Structure 1
Amino acid sequence: MNKTDDIYYIEAVRKGNVQAFSFLVEKYQKLVYTLALKLLKKPEEAEEMAQDTFIKAFQKLDSYEGKSKFSTWLYSITYNACISELRKRRIEFKSLDDRQISDQDEQKMHDYYRETRKEDQEKYLNLALAKLPEDDQVLVTLYYYESQSMDEISQITGLTVSNIKVKIHRARKRMYILLHEMLKEEVYSLM
């Protein structure tokens, strides 16, 4: 067993070497924090959630069966805790699904976006992502930014793969509309 494998450290912790868990914390703290931040929006809340996640993971380490990657199991703990927190807040979002975009507007936006610098493109994508509901942000982040497979996202969220595909499709559509609105305003301000 290689010392870089998660299972090496998991087994060490199970055998009583509590210090071995610090390797797992160091390896995954940024990923857990990023996921929590995408959902909760506030750095201090995300930090607290990340700490809580690692405490729960340590306490439940014996229940980790190794059927999925350790990171997937950890994401699942983070996701479920964040969703529980968000349900307490009961935030409602305005639906963007019903809006229509003309072909001409779509082409203008596409042309403008193609001409923008990479940094600006990332800025607009992040702004659009931030305006999505938290659960959609998580799905988009896990799939596109964290390169998780549909099956892994299903394990993390408890959603079916087909449901995830639909939600990601709708989230991309919402992001497209949001990008259109942002870039349209930008185009008009330049003209």
Structure 2
Amino acid sequence: MESKEQYYIDKVLAGEKEYFSFLVDLYKNMAFTLALKMVKNREDAEELSQDSFVKAFQKLDTFKGEAKFSTWLYAIVYRNSISFLRKKKLDYTDLKSVTYKIAEESETSDPHNILKQEEQKVYVQKAIESLPETDAFLITLFYLNESSVEEIQEITGLSNSNVKTKLFRARKKLREALQVLLRHEMKSIV
């Protein structure tokens, strides 16, 4: 993938700007998801992810290829989101349109298993929504985007040990949020 990315980057740098659309198509969903984790508002996340692609396009000549293009791009999304939050000091808003992958228990089409998997997705989604922005961002990068600790370190500018510590704490908060959600759900059923 990286050699194909480099091909398109080289084309854009040579003046064939239309080739940037390949990179946009490849990373637009995760860029949006990461921005959404930070700002918790769909419209703002769309604007931030678009702005991040514009900045990436404008600064493409500074991309050295030492990290993956996606890592470089997600760092731009992260910095833009942090700047946005500092300017706006937004309140939390509901997150409705993002779904998350959960390791599937089986490939069977058993309706009970499908329903159970969908319920798990809903609870995980709600729990991630309740996390502070940075925690939700880190959880999304690590589990949904399958970014390594080193990639997260490059994206956020945090030290390796700080990334690990923040991920540990974010997982703990996620577990606690899930327990609260499930406890409330049990009370409403009984």
- What TM bracket, shorter-length normalisation? 0.7 to 0.9
Residue type at the aligned position of 2:22: F
Per the alignment, residue 69 of structure 1 pairs with 68
- Cα distance, 1:10 vs structure 2: 0.5
> How many angstroms apart in 2 are the aligned matches of 1:43 and 1:90?
16
Residue type at the aligned position of 1:155: E
> How many angstroms apart in 1 are the aligned matches of 2:27 and 2:189?
43
The runs of at least 4 aligned residues of structure 1 exceeding 3 Å deviation read 89-93
Per the alignment, residue 98 of structure 2 pairs with none
Q: Structure 2 vs 1, CA of residues 91 and 51 (structure 1 numbering), >3 Å: closer, same or farther? A: closer
Structure 2 portions without partners, runs of 5+: 93-114
Contact kept, 8 Å, 1:3 with 1:9, in 2: the verdict is no
- Cα distance, 1:27 vs structure 2: 1.3
The question of 1:119 aligning with 2:115 is answered no
The question of 1:132 aligning with 2:126 is answered no
Structure 1 portions without partners, runs of 5+: 94-115
% identical equivalent positions: 46
Residue type at the aligned position of 1:151: E
Q: Structure 2 vs 1, CA of residues 21 and 81 (structure 1 numbering), >3 Å: closer, same or farther? A: same
Per the alignment, residue 183 of structure 1 pairs with 182
Per the alignment, residue 29 of structure 1 pairs with 28
> Larger Rg: 1 or 2?
1
- Count of paired positions: 168
Identify the range of structure 1 (35-44 vs 153-162) with the bigger mean alpha-carbon deviation: 35-44
Alignment of 1:1-191 (within 5 A): 5-90=4-89, 117-191=116-190
> How many angstroms apart in 2 are the aligned matches of 1:3 and 1:20?
15
Report the TM-score when normalising by structure 1: 0.82
> How many angstroms apart in 2 are the aligned matches of 1:15 and 1:74?
20
